[in-house]
C-alpha cells in the first residue's frame, strides 16, 4: 500500500492478501459457495467471533488467552443456537437460520401439489 506497487491476483494469493482466486467464468459460483458457507453459520456465533477477533489479534498466546478463548467457546456451545445447529446436523436438515422465516413451517411446493392431487382424488371417490 505504501509503495503503490501493482501485482496480480496470483501474487496477492501467494502473499496471503487473498485466500482464494478463480478464473472469471467461475467467479459467481466461487462467491456463491463462499456466501453459502458464511450464511450457514449461526448468526450469534458470527457475532461472537467478530467480537473475539480484535481481542486476540496480535495477543501473546499464553495460558490466560487460551483459557479465555476456551471459556468463550464453551459459552457459545450451550446456547439454543448451538443446540439447534447440532440437532440440525444430527437430523441431516438445514438449520432454522438458513431457512428464511417466511418459509419456515411451509410445506415443500411438491408436497402441496401432491396434497392437491390427493384431495382431488378423494373428492372424486366420495
**Tens place of pLDDT per residue across the chain (126 aa):** 788 899 999 999 999 999 899 999 999 999 999 998 888 899 999 999 999 999 999 999 999 999 999 999 999 999 999 999 999 999 999 999 887 667 666 655 555 555 555 555 555 555
CB hemisphere CA count around 29 (13 angstroms): 5
Phi-psi region of 16 (alpha: psi -120 to 50; beta: other; left: phi over 0): left
- Name the one residue in this structure whose C-alpha cell is 441431516: 92
Report pLDDT for 88: 93
Lookup: cell for 78: 450451550
Write down the residue that cell numbers 378423494 correspond to: 122
Residue 99's pLDDT is 72
pTM over 0.75: no
**Distance of CA 33 to CAs 22, 24, 30, 96, Å?**
12, 15, 5, 19
Sole residue written with cell 392431487: 117
Amino acid at each position: 500500500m505504501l509503495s503503490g506497487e501493482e501485482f496480480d491476483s496470483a501474487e496477492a494469493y501467494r502473499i496471503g492478501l487473498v485466500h482464494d482466486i478463480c478464473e472469471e467464468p467461475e467467479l459467481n459460483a466461487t462467491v456463491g459457495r463462499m456466501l453459502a458457507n458464511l450464511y450457514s453459520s449461526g448468526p450469534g456465533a458470527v457475532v461472537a467471533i467478530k467480537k473475539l477477533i480484535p481481542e486476540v489479534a496480535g495477543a501473546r498466546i499464553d495460558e490466560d488467552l487460551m483459557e479465555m478463548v476456551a471459556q468463550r467457546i464453551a459459552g457459545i456451545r450451550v446456547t439454543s443456537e448451538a443446540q439447534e445447529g447440532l440437532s440440525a446436523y444430527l437430523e441431516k436438515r438445514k438449520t432454522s437460520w438458513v431457512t428464511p422465516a417466511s418459509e419456515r413451517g411451509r410445506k415443500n411446493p411438491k408436497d402441496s401439489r401432491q396434497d392437491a392431487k390427493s384431495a382431488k382424488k378423494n373428492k372424486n371417490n366420495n
